[in-house]
Structure 1
Amino acid sequence: MSVKILHNPRCSKSRQTLALLVEKGVTPEIVEYLKAAPSMAEIKDIAAKLGVAPREMMRKGEAVYKEMGLKDVDDDQALIQAMADNPILIERPIVLANGKAKIGRPPESVLEIL
């Protein structure tokens, strides 16, 4: 089984989710998405695997979200572009496994897709 985690090592939930995966015997591919931002196509694919609209996988409390006025944007492509250009906007952590994805909030929720 191939498991990937979009990980931010500075985020406690991301660290907890990674530790939980390791505890369960899973060795995920770790993608530090702030250093290697996903493409628009990858973000669109992740949203589809999550079963959510792009806005639902965004961190709405980030300063850049407010600065860019994204609250008032109704265009999914524009939101995806904003996440590709500013990966800090992507909710974390996101685990991908078995053709599915899950946001690790709470961390235990990712176990549903393993």
Structure 2
Amino acid sequence: MITIYHNPRCSKSREGLQLLELEGKLFTTVKYLNEPLTKKELTALIAKLNITPIELVRQKESIWIKDYKGKQLSDSEIIDAMLLHPTLIERPIVVNGNKAVIARPAEKIKKIL
């Protein structure tokens, strides 16, 4: 089953959702701002993306700049920051089985369909 981690207020996230709909794929939507991820879930997503936690952070967000930028943080501390402030999580993330992509641009989704 395909899952999209989605923020409806984000245009890139809406584009990813639209691409899945146009492809006619069955998928579930997780509005992660309303349905917060657990540390286990976020860690698993990062592993599926095959990236480091910092690569999933929206580093231009004001919360990141104000509270975290320039600090030496462990991977666990970066994950904790994303759990505390879900808006820091890059979006959309699309998962298909053991494969996942940050769908920016949305066409990246096609790699895992």
Q: TM-score range by the shorter chain?
A: over 0.9
Alignment of 1:53 with 2:52, yes or no, is yes
1:5–1:96 Cα contact (<8 Å) kept: yes
* Corresponding residue for residue 41 of structure 1: 40
* Corresponding residue for residue 76 of structure 2: 77
* Corresponding residue for residue 29 of structure 1: 28
How far 1:112 moved relative to its partner?
A: 0.6
Question: TM-score under structure 1 normalisation?
Answer: 0.94
Determine the C-alpha separation between the residues in 2 that align with 1:73 and 1:89. 17
Q: Please, what is the CA RMSD of the aligned residues? A: 1.0
SS at match of 1:64: helix
Unaligned runs of 5+ in 2: none
- Give aligned pairs, total: 113
* Corresponding residue for residue 102 of structure 2: 103
1:105 maps to amino acid: R
* Corresponding residue for residue 20 of structure 1: 19
Determine the C-alpha separation between the residues in 2 that align with 1:110 and 1:91. 15
Unaligned runs of 5+ in 1: none
Determine the C-alpha separation between the residues in 2 that align with 1:100 and 1:71. 31
Question: TM-score under structure 2 normalisation?
Answer: 0.95
Sequence identity percentage = 40
Moved over 3 A (4+): none
Determine the C-alpha separation between the residues in 2 that align with 1:48 and 1:113. 15
